[in-house]
Amino acid sequence: MDAKGLEEKAKVIRKHILESTCAAGSGHPGGSLSATEIVTVLYFHEMRHDPKNPKWEERDRFVLSKGHAAPLLYAALAESGYFPVETLKTLRKINSNLQGHPDMKSVPGVEASTGSLGQGLSIAVGMALGLKLQGKDSRVFCLIGDGESQEGQIWEAAMAASHYKLDNLTVFLDRNGLQIDGFTEKVMALEPLAEKWRSFGWDVQKINGNSITEVMNALKHKSDKPKIIIALTTKGKGVSFMENVPEWHGKAPDQKQLMEALEELK
Amino acid sequence: MTEMIATRNAYGETLAELGEKNEKIVVLDADLSGSTRTAFFAKKFPERFFDCGIAEANMMGIAAGLATTGLIPFASTFAVFATGRTYDQIRCSIAYPKLNVKICASHSGITVGEDGATHQALEDIALMRVLPNMTVIVPSDANQTRKAVRAIAEYDGPCYLRLGRPKVPVLEEQPFRIGKANVLREGTDCTVIACGHMVSKALEAADQSEYSIRVVNMHTIKPIDKDVIIESARMGPIVTVEEHSVIGGLGSAVAEVVSQHSPTRMKIMGVNDTFGRSGKPDELLSYYHLTTDDIIQSIKEVMR
C-alpha cells in the first residue's frame, strides 16, 4: 500500500479504536491513537504476513509490548482480515475473544500475550533469536511505550538484543510523553532516550511517529545492529480533545464524544 | 551403601543427552550454569545455549519468545530466582499463553545450605502450583529426574521442575508418568505422601515405624493424582512431607483433595511459615524437623 492509501487506512483504524472503546465503555484510546501510523505501516506495507494463515512459518512477527494499545492491534488485525471487523464491537465484553489486553491464545494474529508492561520486548528478543537460530529470514517488530521504558526488564532485553546481535529486530518506541499519572518526564524522567539506546548498542533513529512517510522511510534503514525507532507522537492523535490530555490514557469516549471525534477524523 | 546423586546433576546430564536427539531443545541460564548443571549442555551445544546474564525476568521472556518459534526452551536458575523473582513474567508471558517453556530450578528448599534464607526457596511450589496451565514436578531422586526431564521435553506446555543442590539417595527405579503418583510401599494404617528427597526419608520412616505405612511418591504436585490421595484417605490418616513451606505446597494440595473428597486426619510437615537460615543441609533438616525421626513422630501423632 502506498503512503496515500496508508493515510486513509490509518483513519479507518482510528475510527475502529474510538468505536470499539466507546462500545466497551472502557479501554485505552490515547496510546492506541498515538501509535496508529506505526502499526498501520507495519501491517499494510512493511510486514510479510498472511491473514488466511496466521501461523505461516515465514511470517514477520509483531509484538505489542504496550499491550493496553490492544484496540489498535485488534483494528489492524481485523482490517487485515484475521477476523471480521464487526467483532471489534465486542471488545472487552464477556464471551468475546477480544480481551482487554492481547491474548495470543484467543485471537488469530496476536503473537504474544501482553499487558503487564516491560515483558513484550523480551519475548520479541526470544522470537528474533529463535528465528535466527532456525535460519529463517523473518523479522520481528515490537512496539514499546515510553512510560513502559521505566520497567527494568526493557533494559535487560535491550542489553540482550545487542549482545545476541539481533539485526532482525526492530523496535518502535511510542514517545508520546504521557503516562497515567502525567508527563513521563515528571513521573520518572526517561531522557536522554536516544543516548541510552545508543549506549546499549542499538541503531537509533528519531522520527515524527505520526507521519506515515517518516515511518515508511525509517523502516528502509538497514543496520547490523538491533534497530530502534524513537517515534515522537501525540497521545490521542487525531482527536483534538484527546490530544496530550493524560486522562485519555485509559478512558473511553461516550457516544457524544465519539460523534465529535469521528467528525474530526473525516 | 545407598548411592547418592544430586537431582540437578541428573538434570544436567539428561539435558545434554536429549540435546543430541532433539534439535529443538535450547537451554537458557542466568549466570549459574555451573551450579544448575546446564553447563553440560552448553559445552556440547554452545550454539543452542543462551546465558542471559543476571537478568532472570528477561530470561523468562526470551524463553517465551523462543517457544513461539517452535523451539523447546529449558530455562534454569536457582528456585528463588526462577519463581519469586520472575513470577509475573512466568504468569503473563508463559503460563497465560500456555507456551512450551520448561522452568527447571535447582537449589530449592533449605538444603541449599550455607547461603541461607535469601537463597532457599520455600514458596516456589506454591507460586507455580497456583498458576493455570502450569505442571509442577518434584522428582524424588536422580533416576526419577532423568525420566521427568525426558517426559517434560515430550509434553507440550509450561512445566516447573524442582531440583536440589545436595546429593540425595538414589531409590529403586520407578516408572514415571506426569500426574501419576507412585505407591512405593503398601500399608494399612496410615499414608505418608512425600515429594523430592523427602520420599527417601518417608521410606525409612515407614520401615522403622511401629505402624503399617503406605508410602506415596507424589512427584507431580500439579496435576495432582487425586485417586491415590482419596484411596489413602479412605484407609486412614495422612502425613505429607516436603522441603517447602507448609503453606501452599504438597501438603496444601493434598488437603484440598482430602477435604473435598474424603476428609481424614492430616499432618502437614514442612517448614513452618518461617524463612530458612544458614547451616549444613543435614543440620537444617534437623533444625526444621524434617528428619526420618520427625516423620515417625508425626505418624504417631496422627495415629493417636
pLDDT digits 0-9 by tens, B39-82 = 999 999 999 999 999 999 999 999 999 999 999 999 999 999 99
Tell me if A130 and B63 make a contact (CB, 8 A cut-off).
no
Closest residue of chain B to A164, computed from CA coordinates: B50
Bridge partners, residue B161, by sequence: B104, B137
Residue A70, SS3 per DSSP = helix
- pLDDT exceeds 90 at position B210: yes
* CB-closest option in A57, A115, A126 to B64: A126
Between CA A90 and CA A131 the distance in angstroms is 34
Topology adopted by domain B182-303: Rossmann fold (3.40.50)
- pLDDT exceeds 80 at position B137: yes
Between CA B295 and CA B66 the distance in angstroms is 43
User: With contact defined as beta carbons under 8 Å apart, do A126 and B62 qualify?
Assistant: yes
A160 touches chain B (CB under 8 A): yes
pLDDT digits 0-9 by tens, A87-117 = 999 999 999 999 999 999 999 999 999 999 9
Instruction: Indicate the pairing of strand B135-137 with strand B220-222.
Output: antiparallel
Candidates A101, A113, A117, A123, partner chain B, best to mutate (most B CBs within 10 A):
A123
A148 touches chain B (CB under 8 A): no
A126 touches chain B (CB under 8 A): yes
A169 touches chain B (CB under 8 A): no
Contacts of B68 in chain A (CB under 8 A): 61, 104, 111-112, 123, 126-127, 130
Name residues 38-67 of chain A within 8 A of B (Cβ).
57, 61
Distance from the Cα of A252 to chain B's closest Cα (Å) equals 25
Q: Which residues of B touch A (CB under 8 A)?
A: 26, 47-48, 50, 52-53, 55, 57-58, 60-71, 73, 88-89, 91-93, 96-98
Between CA B3 and CA A183 the distance in angstroms is 63
Q: Per-residue confidence at B165, pLDDT binned at 50, 70, 90?
A: very high
Q: Per-residue confidence at B1, pLDDT binned at 50, 70, 90?
A: confident
**Contacting residues for B27 by C-beta, under 8 A, at least 6 apart:** B15, B19, B38, B41, B42, B45, B48, B49, B50, B73, B74, B75, B76
- pLDDT exceeds 90 at position B7: yes
* CB-closest option in B65, B96, B98 to A130: B65
Distance from the Cα of B143 to chain A's closest Cα (Å) equals 31
Residue B177, SS3 per DSSP = strand
Domain B4-169 has CATH 3.40.50.970: yes
Range of the domain at A72: 3-265
| Active site amino acids of B | 56
Average pLDDT, chain B: 98
Instruction: Indicate the pairing of strand A178-179 with strand A182-183.
Output: antiparallel
- A179 HSE (CA, 13 A, CB side): 18
Could you give phi then psi for residue B167, rounded to 5 degrees?
-70, 135
pTM, full prediction: 0.97
Residue B102, SS3 per DSSP = strand
Q: Give the number of other Cβ atoms within 10 Å of residue A254's Cβ.
A: 11
Between CA B78 and CA B130 the distance in angstroms is 19
Size of interface A-B (CB pairs under 8 A): 112
User: With contact defined as beta carbons under 8 Å apart, do A213 and A41 qualify?
Assistant: no
A173 touches chain B (CB under 8 A): no
Instruction: Provide the domain count of chain A.
Output: 1
Query: What is the per-residue pLDDT for A266?
Result: 86
Q: What is the H or E stretch that residue A160 is in?
A: helix A152-163
Q: Per-residue confidence at B5, pLDDT binned at 50, 70, 90?
A: very high
Instruction: For chain A, list residues with pLDDT below 50.
Output: none
Between CA B156 and CA B100 the distance in angstroms is 6
Place of cell 511470517: A59
Distance from the Cα of B30 to chain A's closest Cα (Å) equals 12
Which residues of chain B are in CATH 3.40.50.920 domains?
182-303
**DSSP calls for A91-153:** TT-TT-S--SS--TTTSTT--S---STT-HHHHHHHHHHHHHHTT----EEEEEETGGGGSHH
Residue B216, SS3 per DSSP = strand
Q: What is the H or E stretch that residue B191 is in?
A: strand B190-194
Distance from the Cα of A140 to chain B's closest Cα (Å) equals 11
Closest CA to A216 of A73, A7, A13, A64: A7
Q: Per-residue confidence at B33, pLDDT binned at 50, 70, 90?
A: very high
What is the arithmetic mean of pLDDT over B284-304? 98
Tell me if B55 and A160 make a contact (CB, 8 A cut-off).
yes
Give the domain CATH number at A43. 3.40.50.970
Distance from the Cα of A208 to chain B's closest Cα (Å) equals 29
* CB-closest option in A120, A127, A164 to B69: A127
Q: What's the Cα-to-Cα distance from A212 to each of A40, A45, A140, A171, B51, rounded to whole Å?
A: 8, 10, 20, 16, 39
A84 touches chain B (CB under 8 A): no
A97 touches chain B (CB under 8 A): no
- DSSP-derived letter for residue A253 is -
